[in-house]
């Protein structure tokens, strides 16, 4: 019969101590995507600033700076997000511009 505290299949005198381990799958960070705003000759600068404030949570100074960059360089970065968030923001901006009869264009690219 096994001694007190031992199981019959223990062969190390009851000092068998196991360590529980957890295998964790490595989670990969999502690929970041940049939302880009493209310049056009028709959308008013004030509307672009409004879009940057509303959809990208920029303050007036930051929105104005990005708007001027877009105006002068032809394209500017509105923000960097996961693919799903970037895709949603592009859609929101395009819909809002269309509702307000502006040809403003937004797109996304891998960061």
Structural domains of the chain, count: 1
Tell me: pLDDT of 4 over 60.
Answer: no
- Asked, for residue 26, whether it belongs to a domain, the answer is no
Q: Is 92 domain-assigned? A: yes
Cα dihedral 91, 49, 101, 76 sign: negative
Tell me what pLDDT residue 9 has.
57
Question: How far apart are alpha carbons 93 and 77 in whole angstroms?
Answer: 14
Name the helix (H) or strand (E) containing 4.
none
Domain that holds residue 104: 33-110
Give domain status of residue 71, yes or no: yes
For residue 11, tell me if it sits in a domain.
no
64-90: pLDDT as tens digits: 999 999 999 999 999 999 999 999 999
pTM (global) more than 0.95: no
Question: Distance between CA atoms of 89 and 95, rounded to whole angstroms?
Answer: 10
Q: Is 89 in a helix, a strand, or coil?
A: helix
Q: Give the pLDDT score at 10.
A: 56
Residue 88 lies in a domain: yes
Closest CA to 37 of 94, 105, 109, 110: 105
Look up the CATH number of the domain holding residue 90.
3.30.1390.10
């Amino acid at each position: 019969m096994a001694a007190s505290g031992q199981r019959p299949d223990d062969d190390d005198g009851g000092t068998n101590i196991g360590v529980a381990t957890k295998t964790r799958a490595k989670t990969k960070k999502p690929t970041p995507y940049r939302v880009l705003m493209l310049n056009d000759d028709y959308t008013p600068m004030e509307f672009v600033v409004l879009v940057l404030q509303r959809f990208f949570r920029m303050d007036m100074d930051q929105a104005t700076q990005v708007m001027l960059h877009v105006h002068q360089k032809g394209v500017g970065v509105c923000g960097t997000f996961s693919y799903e968030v970037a895709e949603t923001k592009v859609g929101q901006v395009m819909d809002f511009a269309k509702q307000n009869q502006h040809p403003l264009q937004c797109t996304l690219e891998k960061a």
